[in-house]
Amino acid sequence: MATSRRSVSISRSGTPRSVIGTAYALSPFCSLPSSLRPRHGAWVSSTTTVPTPPLALRASVPLTAACLVTVVAALVPLLSPLLVALALGALVANTRLSRTRSLQGHAPVTKWLLRVGVVLLGLRLPVADVLAVGWSAAVVIMVTVVITYTGTRYLGRRLGLADDMVTLIAAGFSICGAAAIAAVSDAVQARERDVALAVALVTIFGSVMIGAVPALSSALGLSSTQGAVWAGASIHEVAQVVAAGSLIGTGAVAVATTVKLGRVALLAPTYAVAARSAGRHGEGRVPLVPWFVIGFAVAVAVRSLEVLSTPVVDVSSQLTTMLLAAGMFGLGLGLRLADLWPIPTRQLALAAMSTVLATGSSLLLIVVLGV
């Protein structure tokens, strides 16, 4: 019979494990010498699993983390709460805290939090506001999304990356960052580690663009409206767009956010494209339109009917951020330094090229169409 330490080695090397939400942990007796193990006439397995904690306990940790990062983001407006939550989760993942019972079996909770957050994201999107930006801005939105998504997919295949990873980056950089990645991850059945890496990349590159787009807009002599449209059509996260718009000008925030939400509106068709593509490669087909994408469309319809009061919309917006931040914390638990080394240079290269596609194509369209 192998010793407990040998059992650990076999388990880690011979069994593929999900990077996030690992359901198994060693029993307290595994680290004890055999002479100190209890003897009741029956053998105590050295790989006894720790029972999964109750759902409420598993959800309480990411939600508490989300509350904390929301406060931090409120104190430092340029910090994305999703990025802070992801970083906090990664910090926990690389310490002894990751072994606590409350974090065991949290993967389903993480997925549920992200899905509900995507649904509520639709309440931020009144269709009338998107249409108000005009046909030229609408063309910029749609063409930029198509070029960024398809171009990223093509470049990712040329780089030899796995198709699911390429799709995550393509969706995140063309639609709405972390929320799009969380939604599309279901379609391609991506590994949690890949999801977390894609979220980290889209957040980092989007954060760089907060300062880059306003600075380039000024250097190129773009008007405030053109700069706002460019920010909304190219920057990845909604919060990042708001920050960039505020640097361009007071009136630019509303225009930039509206254009960005126009990209968010394309989340459902992007999911459908990703799901159809994944269905050709996976062991089985995933639902073409899952419940949370339907919920997103319904939320958009409800918001567009203008039946919700301003306080309700404000609360739903805060709740959306909190749920997505909680989900990002869960994804961050998959960012273990040992698993991210060596540095994923091809993924970094694809993220950089996808950013260039989004910024370059949208700027060209703005100039050509005279937005």
Whether 158 shows a pLDDT value over 90: the answer reads yes
Q: What pLDDT is recorded for position 361?
A: 96
Among 16-25, 129-138, 248-257, 321-330, where is mean pLDDT lowest? 16-25
**Crossing angle of helices 345-369/135-158, nearest 10°?**
150
Structure tokens at 115: 């899905």
**Backbone angles phi and psi of 324, in degrees to 5:** -65, -40
Sign, CA dihedral 290-292-296-297, equals positive
Q: What pLDDT is recorded for position 222?
A: 93
Mean pLDDT of 257-285: 76
**Global pTM value:** 0.64
Among 51-65, 111-125, 136-150, 343-357, where is mean pLDDT lowest? 51-65
- Taking CA atoms, 257 is separated from 214, 225, 226, 265, in Å, by 14, 12, 13, 12
Mean pLDDT of 324-352: 79
- d(CA 44, CA 124) in angstroms, rounded, equals 54
Q: Residue 315 is inside which H or E element, if any?
A: helix 310-332
Among 36-45, 91-100, 315-324, where is mean pLDDT lowest? 36-45
Q: What pLDDT is recorded for position 6?
A: 39
Among 28-37, 60-69, 121-130, where is mean pLDDT lowest? 28-37
- Split at pLDDT 50, 70, 90, the class of 29 is very low
- d(CA 147, CA 155) in angstroms, rounded, equals 12
- Most confident segment among 43-57, 258-272, 342-356: 342-356
Among 14-23, 52-61, 362-371, where is mean pLDDT lowest? 14-23
- d(CA 75, CA 69) in angstroms, rounded, equals 10
Among 122-131, 148-157, 190-199, 330-339, where is mean pLDDT lowest? 330-339
